[in-house]
Amino acid sequence: MKKNNKPITKPKVYKKGRQFVADLRPNRPVRQLDLIMLRIYPRRLIYSESYTGPVAAACGRDETGLVGLILWNEQIDQIRIGDIVRIESGWCQMRDGELVVSTGSTGKLRIIDR
């Protein structure tokens, strides 16, 4: 069964539950992503129309790859290197050619193991 000489493939069906770094796409939501924290960079203050306060860049990984992470406000002090964290209802974007995830204004970041 081919259409225009291309094999017909089933659309990717996402199951509820865990998502992997390899599944991330820019400008798409992050449902549930579990990462081990590898690095947390120093905090800095930003001033914009939508947010004023501290942010810190971080790096995490799962078994499928590495991804950048933006930590906001109190998240910076909660997270330590080696923690396993879960990002729920977050957002993925492309920054300087690399994927970066964030909780944004509506998502959650939880420590699931220390």
Q: Is 105 helix (H, G, I), strand (E, B) or coil?
A: coil
Query: In the chain, where are the structural domains located?
Result: 18-113
Which token pair is 84? Answer: 């396993």
Which token pair is 100? Answer: 């970066």
Query: 55-113 pLDDT, tens per residue?
Result: 999 999 999 999 999 999 999 999 999 999 999 999 999 999 999 999 988 899 999 99
- Report the CATH architecture of 18-113: Beta Barrel (2.40)
Q: How far apart, in Å, are the Cα atoms of 110 and each of 32, 90, 97?
A: 11, 12, 27
Query: 4-13 pLDDT, tens per residue?
Result: 565 555 444 4
- C-alpha 96: how far from chain center: 15
Alpha carbon distance 63, 99 (integer Å):
16
What pTM value is reported for the model? 0.80
Alpha carbon distance 64, 51 (integer Å):
32
